[in-house]
Amino acid sequence: MELLLFTVFAAAACGGAIAVVLSQNVVRMAFYLVISLGSTAGLFFMLNADFVGATQLLIYVGGTVVLLIFGVMLTASGPFLTIKSSPGDMVQAILVGALFLGMVVVTVLQVDWDGNAAKLESRYGVSSLERPGYNQRGEGHTTRSIGAALLGARFDKDLGKNREQPSTGYLLPFEIVSVHLLVVLIGAAYLARAKRRVNVPSEF
Amino acid sequence: MSVSEILNGLIYGDLTRSIEVFCPEVLLCVTVIVLLLLRLFSLDHKIPPYVIALGGSVVAFVAVLLQFVFFTTGGAETNLGAGETLFSLFQLTEAGVGSPGELFTGLLMHDAFTLFFRLGLTFFLVLVVALTVLTGIPDNEDGPDFYTLLIGSTIGMMVATSANHLLMLFLGVEMMSVPSYVMVGFLKGRRSSSEAALKYVVYGAGTAGIMLYGLSLIAGLLGTAEFAELGPRLAYLIDGDGVTLSNPNIVVTLLGVMMVLVGLAFKLSLVPFHFWCPDAFEGAPAEIGGFLSVASKAAAFALLVRFLLAMTASGGGELESLNLYLGLALGVMAAVTMTFGNLAAYGQTNVKRLLAYSTIAHAGYMLMAVSAMLVITNAAESSGWSAAQVQDGAARCVEGLMYYLAVYLFMNLAAFAIVALIRNETFSEEIEDYNGLAHHSGTMTVLCVCMGVAMFSLLGMPPFGGFFAKLLIFASVWNAGSIHWLMWALVVIAGLNTIFSLFYYLRVLKAMFIAPRPEGVRSINMSGLVGAYVVVITLPILLMGASPLQNNLSATARYVASVLFP
Amino acid sequence: MEGVGINGYLAVGAVLFVCGVICMATKRNGIGVLMGVELVLNGANVNFVAFSKFGPLGLDGQIASLFVIVLAAAEAAVALAIVLNFYNNHLTIDVDRANELQG
Amino acid sequence: MMPLLATETISELLREGIDLPVFDFWDIPPIGETGALILAAIVHVALLAGFFGLPAFAGIWAERKVSARIQDRLGPTRTGGRFGWLQSLADGIKLLQKEDLWPNAADSMLFRVAPYVVVVSSFAAFLFLPFSDGWVALSLDVGLFLALAILSLEVLGIILAGYSSGSKWSLFGGMREAAQMVSYEVPLGITAVIPVLIAGSMNLNEIGRMQSGWFWNWFIFHDPFTFLAFFVFFTVTLASNKRAPFDLAEAESELVGGFHTEYSGFRWSVFFLAEYASMYFVSALGVILFLGGWWTGIAPIDNFFRASGDWRVNYLGNVLGFAVLLIKSSKLVFLQIWIRWTLPRLRIDQVMVTCLKYLVPISCFLFLGATTWSLLAPGRVAMGMKPGLGARAIEAAVETPATESEAAIVRPVDDAHVAMSDDSSMIGGAK
């Protein structure tokens, strides 16, 4: 069952990604991107990361990609809809890409991840997700732990342990990202808004 | 720990201390919000935005300065008089600012190194804001946007320099780059500006993605994202297997580190990742060019040093050869970068573009220090250096880097500021339009003289700060040569490069001072304030050169560098 | 049930990453390049989440990917604004046509 | 309590391997875990698919009737008797028979796929909707979040449809929709978070359970801010469903038909199926978040069914809850139709201004207000309301010794279950 689901999602994610590369039409690319990102969300659910999966759907697929498509609609009029890469470039890039992929996959898969994890865990403690009792009713309910961690408290790591200092909480990034988003929003709005009016009208 | 223990520990221990140290960044955030509220309530016609921006950045600078003073002098014991009132105003305490250590449950690091960079960044922010006031690059309507971006980017850099966690590394890089993409394209009606921004954002986003992938590999391999644990865990993981390419753990680590270096190299505009730099600097206003060339480079260097030290610090000798290889690779990169930068600068006719290539070359010089640092930290066993010698040598490298950055702040800012100020009068940034500028009377002559100082300092001429900065770096790298001959070669290449660079810097000065003033140009009158500003930012170049202060300054840099190598 | 180990997920992550890199390298359309960036970030995210389940990274991996999603959205917004601005000035979003600044 | 149809999900029921009498009768071997999952999935999909079509057909008929009455007409009167009950069916059959065509200028692949994107996302959102206590296909901690996420995918299909049609009317419709949806998701999210804040959970089933008892326990009556939040939420859902007065994406008078101008036959009808289904979905969501979900609002009735030990009575109670939910949300659907035929359409700039200048600040204000309210009056009762789950968990954590507090934080929901079954705490308000 798990294998079946994994195969479906993984195939869709990879297939979507490859289709993005091969497609020449921007809107189709966006569509394949949606498939790829959506299936990635499926993979996240399989990895017990339900909150991340939902965020992926809401922000990435529902927000970012819609934004991209919106951009396509504002810019890609007729002739620019399909800006073709030259075939020579494509072939070259795909060859290099395939080599690169081979390299990354071979390197990454050569590692004995489980062995490493066991080795590290034997010295540094068990990973928090495996801790029984914290995740309610089966696996994947990580919302509470993530919520607490975003406020800086790592109940999943620290409860019942003897530590001098609290484990890494994420209060700072959670807060500072909001400043960042504000700044970025201002910047994007500045660039996107119409050029300045020459004489300031008294009434909008 | 129980729930209440955890919460109490967070609220009364960690958070109070963290916010005390983080106060300057918070002040900057507040400035941003005040700027935006001002426009919301249409007060921006009554109070110009730059007043708020200048005020906010000055307050932030003062806050960091006090922290620095408090930290280096031991705080409470000093009797500075007015200082103590200020200390109490910002509520600095021995347990908070006074003691180095991690902040925000290990996300940020608070030590002299970080403080030094934050001090530099806030001071630089004040200078840049002042410059924009003089050149008037954002008008009143766009002011809040511009200063929001500028300050937002600075906050990102400050976060980046104190990053102690892989997530904060990425967050810092993103926070400092994304607003700067917009700033490069700030003159949105101009074709060149929008093109520069497009190139910058495309390369920037791409390399950031690659960096993130590298981070994910490292974090996954080591099972942690905290800097303090990276090195020891890596050493533990490859324990006994030795550093060979047949060990997949090593290969993945290298892959990850390489990818992270791609991201940082982009920010530093090192050679294979430098394409954006000349274009972005040419398309962007010179003020932004100055800001990016100094601030984002300084932050990226701080990150680079921290990250590399974290990855390679093992506590034992397990990672030695890894350090050596990394160090040598960076050394080669440094050599290529400076040579390329200097050679490419020759053919330029646009001053901003020339300066952009010059910043590439300077990044190369500074990278030498980092590479020597890595090579030296490897030296403990194989070259028979004693532990104290290693410490001292590595600290000297970082000292050189920081001294260089400090001088570079002023000389590069001076160069870009003068370009911007001249642009405001002559509407040109081409070298040939600089012909005979020194023959104008008044403030323009001051500008030209200051440009001369900045250029000679960039070049590395003896009486100026640039010379001592280069000297420190060259000496520390030469020192590393006894471990690996490549370091000696590096110094030789750098020396040759310095000579190369003479010609293109002099070309600008030749145009300014020697070339005759073209017929029929109108005379230029600039306000005295402009001259005063330029003099103020040029003076430190002299001070950091052959002056009694030089010793003090390098001693400070030395002290700051030594905290990295306990 | 047959379990899927970490390697499967890492392979998916690698494929997404490489596709993204190729996409960034070959697409001449500004928005196409952005899509490549999204793919790259997603590849990294798959890694993070996979490590969080199988490796000792724990919840930190999931939180990292959350932040990445947010940052990617911010970056996309800015990049899009810049592309639009470029389009307004040049009437194309062909990245190869951004060749006026040279030297 | 017998677990039949009262456990969280069918799959859990099946996984626990209860020996249903039928198994013995036909001598079927017990179901394995995979089998249970697949079986549960089939059952859910079949149930939901049936339920998915129902509101569409009822909605279309109701829309015709209501609009006719508002315009002083009779509406459908022939097909299927005096009130035209079967009109929707007849429409459907007619549409199915139509030729499936697409314009030359269209991007045929995307043109054909777009309706399915819309319908699948609209359908998938129902997976997270509890129809009665425990009658939910997927009971997740992120239920509400995920439901909103999936619902927001619907817009993608509409944009693709508008874009791929190769017609400027469609393109305009698609662009308007993109702008509108991206903007309206902000106040939608903020107002939907307010009940979450009070309940301390994003699980829709939990949120629904929190509102049992008398009707003043409903979140809409929790405090003044939630009361206003409901109306903002309702307004925003109108827009997110592209219902009038926010139906700019298909404004007939300006854009012919907007994004679906070029569609006909089956694909066209699929858009409408999805539209009416998601109309129902957001109404049900509103009911669960604010209007007491499946509870009748009269405590003795609900308690009678819940307290009974007999699983048949429990089951009946669930059926009653289902009916209540259906009725409540139909009321909201009716309200949507009523508004559509009463109010004039806004201009696109007015739509954006309404969202960005009014609804977003208002919803932020309400969110802040609700937060402050629960901060200032954490354990206190407003109109009979019991304190939120989150507040109770934290109180328990702070007041009790370490080991118990750990349990309180670790399993707050289960803790709440215990509290729920304790009727005195449920009805009597704060202890």
Position D24 pLDDT exceeds 60: no
The yes/no answer to whether this complex scores an ipTM above 0.95 is no
Residue of A8, C98, D305 whose CA lies nearest to B280 = C98
- State the pLDDT at residue B210: 92
Residue pLDDT, tens place only, D219-230 = 888 788 888 888
Q: Is C37 close to B174, i.e. CB distance below 8 A?
A: no
Residues of A in contact with C94 (CB under 8 A): 80, 83
Interface test with D, best of A34, A39, A137, A204 (most D CBs within 10 A): A137
Q: For the domain covering C10-92, report its CATH number.
A: 1.10.287.3510
Pick the residue from chain B with its C-alpha nearest to A105.
B252
Cβ-count burial A13-37 (b if 16+ within 10 Å, e if not): bbebbbbbbbbbbbbbbbbbbbbbb
Interface test with D, best of A61, A73, A82 (most D CBs within 10 A): A73
At B108, is the secondary structure helix, strand, or coil?
Answer: strand
Question: Residue written as tokens 């798959």?
Answer: C46
Residues of D in contact with B5 (CB under 8 A): 402
**pLDDT band at C1, cuts 50/70/90?**
very low
- Of C28-37, C63-72, D119-128, D386-395, which has the strongest mean pLDDT? C63-72
Q: Does A25 touch chain C (CB under 8 A)?
A: no
Q: Does D46 touch chain A (CB under 8 A)?
A: no
Q: Does B1 touch chain A (CB under 8 A)?
A: yes
Residue of B459, B467, B281 whose CA lies nearest to B357 = B281
Identity of the residue numbered A112? D
CA distances from B443 to B47, B455, B505, B526, B528 (A): 29, 18, 22, 6, 6
Pair B418, B286: CB distance under 8 Å: no
- Rounded CA separation B374/B310 (Å): 11
Q: Is D406 close to B3, i.e. CB distance below 8 A?
A: yes
Q: Is B202 close to C95, i.e. CB distance below 8 A?
A: yes
Name the residue facing A187 among B6, B182, B236 (closest C-beta): B182
Q: Is A180 close to B174, i.e. CB distance below 8 A?
A: yes
Chain Cα centroid distance, residue B561:
15
- State the pLDDT at residue C52: 85
Region at B520 (left for phi over 0; alpha for psi -120 to 50; beta for the rest): left
Helical segments of B74-111, H only:
82-89
Q: How many residues does chain D have?
A: 431
Q: Is B182 close to A191, i.e. CB distance below 8 A?
A: yes
* Sign of the dihedral defined by the CA atoms of residues D136, D139, D145, D146, in that order: negative
- Rounded CA separation A38/A30 (Å): 12
- Residue-wise DSSP of B485-513: HHHHHHHHHHHHHHHHHHHHHHHHHIIII
Residue of B471, B492, B466, B488 whose CA lies nearest to B479 = B488
Position A135 pLDDT exceeds 50: no
Q: Does B29 touch chain A (CB under 8 A)?
A: yes
- State the pLDDT at residue D357: 86
* Sign of the dihedral defined by the CA atoms of residues A31, A35, A36, A37, in that order: positive
Phi, psi of B202 (to 5 degrees): -65, -50
Read off the tokens for D32: 């394995």
- State the pLDDT at residue D18: 52
Residues of B in contact with A159 (CB under 8 A): 1-3, 6
- State the pLDDT at residue B15: 85
Q: Does C18 touch chain A (CB under 8 A)?
A: yes
Interface test with D, best of A2, A37, A60, A66 (most D CBs within 10 A): A66
- Rounded CA separation A97/A89 (Å): 12
Position A61 pLDDT exceeds 50: yes
pLDDT in tens, chain B (566 residues): 677 777 877 888 888 888 888 899 999 999 999 998 888 888 777 888 888 999 999 999 998 988 888 888 776 555 566 666 777 777 777 777 878 888 888 889 888 889 999 999 999 999 999 999 888 887 777 888 899 999 999 999 999 999 999 999 999 999 999 999 999 988 888 888 888 898 899 889 999 999 999 999 999 888 888 888 888 888 888 776 666 777 788 888 888 999 999 999 999 988 888 888 888 888 888 889 999 999 999 999 999 999 988 887 765 666 777 778 888 889 999 999 999 988 888 888 888 888 999 999 999 999 999 998 888 887 666 667 777 888 888 888 888 898 899 999 999 999 999 888 888 888 888 888 888 787 777 788 888 889 888 988 988 888 888 888 888 899 888 888 888 888 889 899 999 998 888 888 888 888 888 888 777 777 777 788 888 899 998 988 888 887 777 788 888 888 888 888 77
- Rounded CA separation B256/C17 (Å): 13
Helical segments of D136-290, H only:
143-164, 168-199, 204-210, 224-240, 252-255, 265-290
Q: Is C92 close to A116, i.e. CB distance below 8 A?
A: no
Read off the tokens for D227: 């009361």
Q: Is B10 close to A124, i.e. CB distance below 8 A?
A: no
- Rounded CA separation B154/B286 (Å): 17
Helical segments of chain A, H only:
2-22, 26-46, 50-55, 65-75, 87-110, 113-124, 143-150, 155-158, 171-192
Interface test with D, best of A33, A144, A145 (most D CBs within 10 A): A144
Interface test with B, best of A130, A151, A172 (most B CBs within 10 A): A172
D residues 260..289 contacting A (CB < 8 A) = none
The fraction of chain A above a pLDDT of 90, given in percent, is 18
Size of interface B-D (CB pairs under 8 A): 18
- Of A85-89, D45-49, D143-147, D361-365, which has the strongest mean pLDDT? D361-365
A117 to chain B nearest CA, in Å? 7
Residue pLDDT, tens place only, D95-113 = 788 877 777 777 778 888 8
Residue B12 DSSP code: I
Pick the residue from chain A with its C-alpha nearest to B251.
A107
- Residue-wise DSSP of C41-97: HHHHHHHHHHHHHHSTTTHHHHHHHHHHHHHHHHHHHHHHHHHHHHHHHHS--BGGG
**pLDDT band at D208, cuts 50/70/90?**
confident
| CA atoms within 13 A of residue D68's CA, in its CB half-sphere | 13
Size of interface A-B (CB pairs under 8 A): 161
Pick the residue from chain C with its C-alpha nearest to A126.
C56
Q: Does C98 touch chain A (CB under 8 A)?
A: no
- State the pLDDT at residue D391: 47
Pair D247, D345: CB distance under 8 Å: yes
- For strands B108-110 and B101-103, give the pairing: antiparallel
B6 to chain D nearest CA, in Å? 11
- State the pLDDT at residue B379: 66
Q: How far apart are the first and last CA of chain D?
A: 26
Q: Does B234 touch chain C (CB under 8 A)?
A: no
| CA atoms within 13 A of residue C17's CA, in its CB half-sphere | 30
- Rounded CA separation B367/B297 (Å): 11
Pair B365, B339: CB distance under 8 Å: no
Q: Does A148 touch chain C (CB under 8 A)?
A: no
Domain spans of chain A?
1-76
B residues 139..158 contacting A (CB < 8 A) = 141-142, 144-145, 148-149, 151-153, 155-156
- State the pLDDT at residue D159: 83
Q: Is D142 close to A51, i.e. CB distance below 8 A?
A: yes
Position D11 pLDDT exceeds 80: no
Q: Is B236 close to A120, i.e. CB distance below 8 A?
A: yes
- State the pLDDT at residue B180: 92
Domain spans of chain C?
10-92
Residues of chain B contacting D, Cβ within 8 Å: 2-5, 7
Overall average pLDDT of the D294-299 stretch: 80
Q: Is B2 close to D398, i.e. CB distance below 8 A?
A: no
Torsion of CA D148, D150, D152, D154, to 10 degrees: -140
Residue of B491, B113, B483 whose CA lies nearest to B310 = B113
Higher-confidence residue: A57 or D341?
A: A57
- State the pLDDT at residue B122: 94
Residue pLDDT, tens place only, A4-55 = 888 999 999 999 999 998 888 888 888 899 999 999 999 998 888 888 998 9
- Rounded CA separation A158/D177 (Å): 47
Higher-confidence residue: A198 or D289?
A: D289
Residue pLDDT, tens place only, B264-309 = 999 998 888 888 888 888 888 888 999 999 999 999 999 999 998 8
Pick the residue from chain B with its C-alpha nearest to D397.
B3
Report domain A1-76's class.
Answer: mainly alpha
Torsion of CA D308, D314, D316, D317, to 10 degrees: 80
Q: Does D28 touch chain A (CB under 8 A)?
A: no
B342 to chain C nearest CA, in Å? 14
Interface test with B, best of A144, A179, A197 (most B CBs within 10 A): A179
Position D389 pLDDT exceeds 70: no
Q: Which chains touch D (3 or more CB pairs under 8 A)?
A: A, B
